[in-house]
Amino acid sequence: MKTEILYVELIQQFDHRGSAWIGYGQFSKSGRTVYFNGKVFGRGQGTIGNHVDIEGGEEYWISGVKKNGEDRHKYGSGKIFLDKSVVEDYLKIIGETKLPKNKFSLVDLDNVPNKKLSREIENKKFTEDSFDRELLHKNNYNSPQK
């Protein structure tokens, strides 16, 4: 499983002012699933985000970190939660020796990929009760022709 430092920002309803994190993330073999901070993200075609939390459905922007340290969108604001375990590697990437205190809050993120949650959600069996019964039993062949 490929691991790298990722920038993850909650997008839905916050328009670049949502919570944001930098930490280690892992990718599935195909690269389509991202594991980050105990969550599982699938590729999404959202309105703003490029990934979707497969459990909650929220949109996220997930990318690598920028070498200039300006990971937030230019219209975004708020501190970024930085995983304590990535500080040394992140400083090397941005070419600095100390973190700007006004931009980051140090936190402990969950760096263990939640494959169990992924399997449970992706392999969930659907029942007839999961669907609108009217749509399930609708027969287009019996509809009146105009």
Q: Please give the residue range of the domain that contains residue 96.
A: 2-142
Count up the domains in the chain and report the number: 1
Contact predicate 35/51, CB 8 Å: no
Say what the pTM is: 0.75
pLDDT recorded at residue 124: 55
What pLDDT, on a 0 to 100 scale, did the predictor assign at position 132?
56
| Section 50-77 average pLDDT | 86
**Is the pLDDT confidence value at 58 over 80?**
yes
Residue 88: the pLDDT is: 95
Residue 107 CB neighbours (<10 A): 14
Token duo for residue 54: 């497969």
Summarize pLDDT for 1-53 with one digit per residue, the tens. 788 999 999 986 666 778 999 999 999 888 888 999 989 998 876 667 788 88
59 CA to centre of own chain: 7
pLDDT for 57 beyond 90? no
The whole-chain average pLDDT of the chain stands at 80
Q: Going by C-beta distance under 8 Å and a sequence separation of 6 or more, which residues neighbour residue 145?
A: none
Listed as own residue / partner, the contacts of 2-5 with beta carbons closer than 8 Å and 24 or more positions apart are 2/26, 2/27, 2/31, 3/27, 4/64, 5/64, 5/65, 5/86, 5/89, 5/90, 5/93
Phi, psi of 23 (to 5 degrees): -170, 180
How far is it, in rounded angstroms, from Cα 13 to Cα 112? 28
Model pLDDT, residue 146: 46
Average pLDDT (60-78) is 87
